[in-house]
Amino acid sequence: MMDLKFRAWLDNLLGQPARHVVPDTLRMRQSSHENPQQVFADVAAQLRMLPGRLHELAESRSGYEREGVLCFLADKMDTRSLAIVIARLNDWVPQVRARAEQIYRSYLLAGRVDDLLACIDGLYGLQQKQRVDHAALLQDTYTLLLHPQHLPGVRQALQRGRGGAARFLLGLLLQHTDIAQAAREGMRHSDPAVRQQALTAGVQLPPPVGWAILMAGLTDRAPAVRSQAIRLVMGTPLTDNDKLQLCQRMLLDISLGPREIACWHAARLGLDVRRFYQEAIGRAGLSERELMVLMWEAVHYKLAEGFALAEKHLGHRRALVRLAAIRALLVLAPERRSEVLERVWLDPSRKLKRYVLALIGDGLALQSDALYHAAHAAWLRDDNWLALALSKRLSDWQHLELQLALLDEPRLQASVLAQLAPLNQPYNWLAYARPYGDDQQRIAALLQRAAVRQQLNTLPHLVAGLAKAGLWTE
């Protein structure tokens, strides 16, 4: 009988029982004792009438149905059909696998290279399968793809590809074509992992090709590729002095990963890295990237010279340089944290503020009063984003104190009352908590203000909670 789930779907689609619409000859036979040829005919009839069921039947639990789908697709040679055929090459039923291989070889005989390249992800995945050895079939595929007539299409597919499929194609080109050309094409790919693969193969080439590929890796836009290039430099026949010069260059790399690798190798080659950074800070004409790196490393090595550099560039036009300078001052000059943070809260760059907010409580300890005053000032100047971010870092009692203090501002009263509204319920946390002595004194003082009491009288449950906590007196 027809599959029950499919019948329910068809009933819903047609608004009437499917048995009144689909002839008996189109209903699927599920018994394993049915005639295979009849099942194949039924599958073909269904797919002609309902082509949308192709993938559903291709994944059916019935081996007859899966083989029937392959029979239906045998004379429909296109990319979609080939993708299904490749998936069935690893089917758990031997007869289905045999049928899929027969159809797949027809694609090879017909030279359907475009279809094969469009399904390169499936071919790449087929290498990982272990149910059957596909080595002979894959070797025939490689022979076809690597024919000189088809190499331009393979190279185009490499540039379009992503992930494992792109690395698979590059590996084919590196193994069976000119390595220098394949490596150069790999270095132009958008995927850093593909560029790493091309770099590893390219540096083995003799100069000047190998050297050019290595320099391309050292200046690549991806930190992972630059890191790989530094490691590969150490395995080249360059002299130690040349290797050290390249490491010194990479010690000023904008990304931390390449710098760490260059630092390790430079120290191994005899360089005093701390002294290198001390001397670099005193250079004239430093670029923006070099400024950021030197201020960052000044914090790592606790360099006193970094303080003057950070102070000089605290007002730099670029936000990332200001961020590096602020970080250096916050760590190297704790006594100036209040002044520096005040500049942070007034800085126009939200990215810089986010970074400093992330530091608070994670390597940067601040007195809660400093956060309170910063949040209060942010609310008064209508910097709502920063005010909310700072308020979240206050304790519950400090947050309540801040809200009570803001009730003195007529233009903020509506906003503050909306924030206090969740506490206007019979069993809020005020009924079970007690503030510390300093918090209690400050909150009690605020609750004596007429404007504050007048606004809170509109929230009777909040007032009851304050009274129970001993903070509200009539």
Mean pLDDT of 243-263: 94
Dihedral, 265, 268, 270, 276 alpha carbons, nearest 10 = 40
Alpha carbons within 13 angstroms on the beta-carbon side of residue 70 total 27
Q: What is the pLDDT of residue 220?
A: 94
Distance from CA of residue 225 to its chain's centroid?
Answer: 17
**Structure confidence by residue, pLDDT tens digits, 332-386:** 888 888 888 888 888 888 888 888 888 776 556 666 678 888 889 999 998 989 9
Look at residue 293 and tell me whether its pLDDT is greater than 90. Answer: yes
Averaged pLDDT score across all residues of the chain: 85
Instruction: Let me know if 343 is exposed, middle or buried by CB neighbors in 10 A (0-12, 13-18, 19+).
Output: middle
Return the percentage of the chain with pLDDT > 90, whole number.
Answer: 25
Two tokens at 421? 């509204």
What pTM did the predictor assign? 0.70
User: 364 forms bridges with which residues in the sheet?
Assistant: 360
CB contact at 8 A, 214 and 196: no
Q: Give the pLDDT confidence of 39-85 residue by residue, as tens digits.
A: 888 888 888 888 888 888 888 888 888 888 888 888 888 888 888 88
Report whether pLDDT(296) > 90.
yes
Question: By 3-state DSSP, what share of the chain in percent is helix, strand and coil, each rounded to 5?
Answer: 70, 0, 30
Instruction: In whole angstroms, give the CA distance from residue 434 to residue 443.
Output: 12
Summarised one tens digit per residue, pLDDT across range 112-141 is 888 888 888 888 888 877 788 888 888 898
What burial class does residue 193 get, using C-beta atoms within 10 Å of its C-beta: 0-12 exposed, 13-18 middle, 19+ buried?
middle
**What pLDDT score was predicted for residue 292?**
94
In this prediction, residue 33 has a pLDDT band, given cuts at 50, 70 and 90, of very low
Q: What is the pLDDT of residue 3?
A: 61
Give the pLDDT of residue 14: 57
Whole-number Å distance between alpha carbons of 340 and 311: 10
Q: Which residue shows structure tokens 């950070």?
A: 310
Q: How many CA atoms lie within 13 A of 200 on its CB side?
A: 13
CB 368, CB 395: distance < 8 Å: yes
